[in-house]
Chains A and B, each alone.
Chain A
């Protein structure tokens, strides 16, 4: 990959994805990239938190300590969020929505700690979009049966079916592109500031990090989970 146009002023600042090492798999060259490393770090942090939370809950006391309080707060907040949107379908989806919420939130925030956020790679967000797509259609077939799905496909008239199919396919693409582009714009803008204004970039880029990593990351996480829940509730509802 050649040198970027905008970053030619500072060749040492780079926000592209790089390969770490490659191996051959069935004749294909597969690269382990910096994204994989960042996802691994985020997952290790989540697993460490989970082990600590498990220990805290096993030795739970009547009057909760600090850490137990935090764990209960997180679980309660996620439960209320899912329950408020999905109503009676919430029971089956609390685990899934809570998992992707925590994963996307930590991925977006990891930009604060000097990692390249894993969600700024389309491979990661598209995988999340595909998971949502699969869940939507599995639940559609489970709750509305084949007859209901065909009826929904030919909504006003049967001639409308191709447009409905395109609308269904656009859901994961727009979901994943929204998350990806938001995080990527934050990455690019902070990289530009650090690269082009390197001489005067002391302390004040923290404001950029607060906006792009914390505020924008939290909002986009909320939006992704909210839209996923809305689509799944829509698929579960039978007339």
Chain B
């Protein structure tokens, strides 16, 4: 997911306004001190640093931030949000950008992190609670990870862990549901 930074940028502040209005997070308060980036534990896997994402929002580079790997690499550890001297909820912004990316269908194709979230919520929608075994099966099927694992032999390691879980009584085969499934389904239906 590598994206080129445009050469000439004409700032468009309408995106910043939209982000602030919808997320209720004051992105414009960023003065680029980079404290977020310095404390971020996952910068090694990002294409842009958190402070750059803030700057891109200021400049109106919508496509760039919705397409980047960074928003999906963010582990929501909340270090940036905790340390920001201007009290910007940066991790919250990353969530807002992920939600926007999904709504607009940008950057979610072949995105395994997105697929995991999607499959997770679909599972909650069914019974009101997550059943880990079903969740993993669905994920392996939907992402094609299962087939990939069969080809490259990494399924053996997964099987070892799975069997370990099973023999330790940590992998119930049948899911538990809640009584009021409808209510939870309703909460989750409004998001699509």
Partners in one complex: no
A binding-site residues for B, Cβ under 8 Å = none
Q: Which residues of B contact A (CB under 8 A)?
A: none
